Structure formats: structure tokens, C-alpha cells
Amino acid sequence: MAEIEIDGGPADPARLAALGLLNYGHFTTLRAESGRARGLALHLDRLVRDCRTVFGAELDPAEVRARIRRVLPADGAPVIVRVTVFDPALGLERPAAPATPHLLVTTRPAPAAAPGPLRVRTTAYRRELPEVKHVGLFGLLHQRRLAQLDGYDDALLLDGAGRLAEGATWNLALHDGRALVWPDTDAALPGVTAALLARAHPGPQRREALAPDGLDRFVAAVAVNAGAGVRPIAAIDGTSFDPAHPAVAELRAAYEGVPGDEI
């Protein structure tokens, strides 16, 4: 059963309406199971860091943990938790007013099975303030919609130099048969799942500026985020990859071997 709370209490319509109308804030999403979540410290660090950037305010990570604990299922069932930081008192006219951040915490059931491979197309689009996981998702969802209308599953964004950056809501990693390769760009969100996978991967890895052509030198590609973990990519534009390549299984195993932190 889904849960939704603001500051540990019922989510009243007035404050929800303020978030919906202004759409100014930031968030993080994590997968929790049996009271634990991978990369919890990184998620908390992100919220604290982004709160300073978005609101010029401090956020208490201990309070965030307490709010997350309140909405977790008593039976430890896996859920996707989203923590959104916003200020319902801010308005369109004075977003620079001193802010008092509030916490909107929601849950939804985690997928029962691993999602299937993605077919993605590249598109020239740079997310606003890409270093922050902010609530401005219109552009990303619009690009996803356009890709789906064109027969793909999702969009893979290109930075201003035409290099691979990030997916609509995920980070990209490729494998050339020897090393794990991450896009070298300043136009991608520094994802928590990507950071955990980079730490856990036992083999060589590097960052590289990647153009959308010439990807046939890679044997595997994956999309990574907290909700899906490591998800194979079957194609980028006209370049196909084997979703069942051993490199994909190795990356998934490395990530799933990361122990969860107690919430």
C-alpha cells in the first residue's frame, strides 16, 4: 500500500497543491527492503547538498531518516521511497525569499521482477542544473514521450557537444569487453546507483567522451538507477547490444552485492 506524508503527518491538500503549482524543489529516490537501503548515506548527502543549492538552507539528515522509517512497511516488503524537499510558503513572485524546507515522503511497491531491456534513441537535450536532482521533470518526460512515439522505450540525452550524457531518469554505462566505461560529461546527474556500481565493480573502468556513432565497439550497455538497479540496454539508435551478455550479469551481481544501510 502506498504511503504519503509531509513532515511525518498526513499530506494535506493545501501543501500538496503548493508543490504542484510552483513545482520548485528537489528529491531523491531509493529502494528500501527490510529496513535497509543501498547507498543511504549518498542519498542523504545529495539531499543536504541540493537543499543548499536550491533553497540556500540546511537539511537535517537524521530527520530525513526518521521520516523514511515512518513510511516503511511493517513487514519489510520492498518499496520505492521518494523524498521531496520543498517549501509550500514560497510563491512564483519571490522564490528568493528565505526558505523553510519541508519533507514530502512517498512510497510505492517496488517492481516484483526486473524490467526488460531498453531500446533508446539519442536526442539533443540538456537538463536544467543537471548536477541537482530537481523536480523539473517536464523536459525529461517530454523527451521520453517523443522517443516512445517514435517506437523506442526512452531517450538518451546528448550534451551541448553532442556527446552521450544521461538517460531521462538514469545514468548510462557501457562495457567494451575489458573495462566499464562511463560518459565523461558535465551534463549528467551524479547518480547514487552509478556511484555504488563504480565502487563495487571489480574490473577496470574509465570515463570517456562518447559520441553516438562508433558504439559498436562496446559489447554491452546498461541503464542504472535506484528503482531498476542495473537494466540492460538492447539498442542505442541503430546500434544493438546483447542484453544477455555476461558483462551485464556481472554488473548486476556487483551492484546487488552492495549491502544495504540500516535506515
**C-beta of residue 170 within 8 angstroms of C-beta of residue 143:** no
Q: Give yes or no: residues 131 and 250 share one domain.
A: yes
Residues 46, 24 within the same domain: yes
Angle between helices 192-200 and 40-55 (to 10 degrees): 140
Please indicate, yes or no, if residue 263 is contained in any of the structural domains. no
Domain-ending residue, one of 109, 134, 167: 109
145 and 233 both lie in a single domain: yes
Q: Which of 215, 232, 229, 224 is nearest to 260 (CA)?
A: 229
Same domain, 239 and 148: yes
Both 90 and 13 in one domain: the answer is yes
Query: Do 173 and 204 sit in the same domain of this protein?
Result: yes
- Cα Rg of the chain (Å, integer): 19
Residues 18 and 84 both lie in one domain: yes
CATH number (domain holding residue 179): 3.20.10.10
pLDDT in tens, the chain (263 residues): 578 999 999 998 989 998 889 999 999 999 999 999 999 999 999 999 999 999 999 999 999 999 999 999 999 999 999 999 999 999 899 999 999 999 999 999 998 878 999 999 999 999 999 999 999 999 999 999 999 999 999 999 999 999 999 999 999 999 999 999 999 999 999 999 999 999 999 999 999 999 999 999 999 999 999 999 999 999 999 999 999 999 999 999 999 999 999 99
Question: Are both 58 and 95 inside the same structural domain?
Answer: yes
Distance CA 20, CA 37 (A): 28
Tally the domains of the chain: 2
Q: Are strands 205-208 and 180-183 parallel, antiparallel or unpaired?
A: parallel
* Per-residue model confidence (pLDDT) at position 113: 78
- At a CB cut-off of 8 Å and minimum separation 6, what does 201 contact? 180, 251, 254
pLDDT confidence of residue 1: 54
The three three-digit cell numbers of residue 113, written as one number: 521482477
Residues 73 and 126 in one domain: no
Domain edge (last residue) among 59, 81, 109: 109
Does 123 share its domain with 253? yes
Residue 123 domain boundaries: 118-258
Identify whether residues 52 and 90 lie together within a single domain. yes
In this structure, the number of other CB atoms found within 10 A of the CB of residue 253 comes to 12
**3-class SS letters over 187-222:** CCCCCHHHHHHHHHCCCCEEEECCCCCCHHHCCEEE
Instruction: Look at residue 122 in the predicted model and tell me its pLDDT.
Output: 98
Q: Are residues 219 and 132 in the same domain?
A: yes
